[in-house]
Amino acid sequence: MDTVWVAVALVIFLAVLVKFGVHTKIVAALDSRGEKVAQELAEARRLRQEAEKLLAEYEGKRKAAEAEAASLIAAAKEEAQRLSAEAEAKLNDFVARRTKSAQEKIAQAEVQAEAEVRAAAAEAATKAAEIILRGQMGGKAGDTAFASGLQEVKAKLN
């Protein structure tokens, strides 16, 4: 019999709950909670879509930055090669000019040395001729012959 009274009490309790509309309030609370969950899911979907959009945008920017960096690196390599070739050309030009200048100085020194040797040879020849002629010719006739011979030798040697 105890179970009968427990069943009767349960029925009375449920009737009181129905009379005061507790079941509608529970259903309304559950519906409200379901709507909040649905709104939160919709907000989560919207945020996810925005995040995917931002990710795609930043991915595009990253790719563009990588492409720009690659073009800058290529341009820098090209500029370095151009500067290297230019420096090498300048160095070759400098070496060629220095070589030519050195060769010109050597040729000039050779010409000057040759002229000095000829002048020394002419001087030695004139002194030798003077000594020989003075020994062979004496007086005024010897001096005149010596002067004219000296003029002739100097003209021929120079």
Tell whether 118 is covered by a domain.
yes
Tell whether 78 is covered by a domain.
yes
Q: Which two tokens stand for residue 42?
A: 């919709």
DSSP secondary structure letters along 39-72: HHHHHHHHHHHHHHHHHHHHHHHHHHHHHHHHHH
pLDDT in tens, 61-83: 999 999 999 999 999 999 999 99
Residues spanned by the domain of 93: 20-157
pLDDT value for 1: 74
Tell whether 71 is covered by a domain.
yes
- The pLDDT mean for the chain works out to 87
Tell whether 13 is covered by a domain.
no
Tell whether 144 is covered by a domain.
yes
pLDDT digit of tens for each residue in the chain (158 aa)? 788 989 999 899 888 888 888 888 888 888 899 899 999 999 999 999 999 999 999 999 999 999 999 999 999 999 999 999 999 999 999 999 999 999 999 999 999 988 888 888 878 877 877 777 666 666 666 677 767 777 777 777 66
Tell whether 135 is covered by a domain.
yes
Tell whether 14 is covered by a domain.
no
Q: Is 39 exposed, middle or buried (0-12, 13-18, 19+ CB in 10 A)?
A: exposed
Q: How does DSSP classify residue 158?
A: -
Helices (H), the chain: 2-19, 22-136, 139-157
Q: How many domains does the chain have?
A: 1
Tell whether 3 is covered by a domain.
no
pLDDT value for 158: 61
pLDDT value for 48: 95
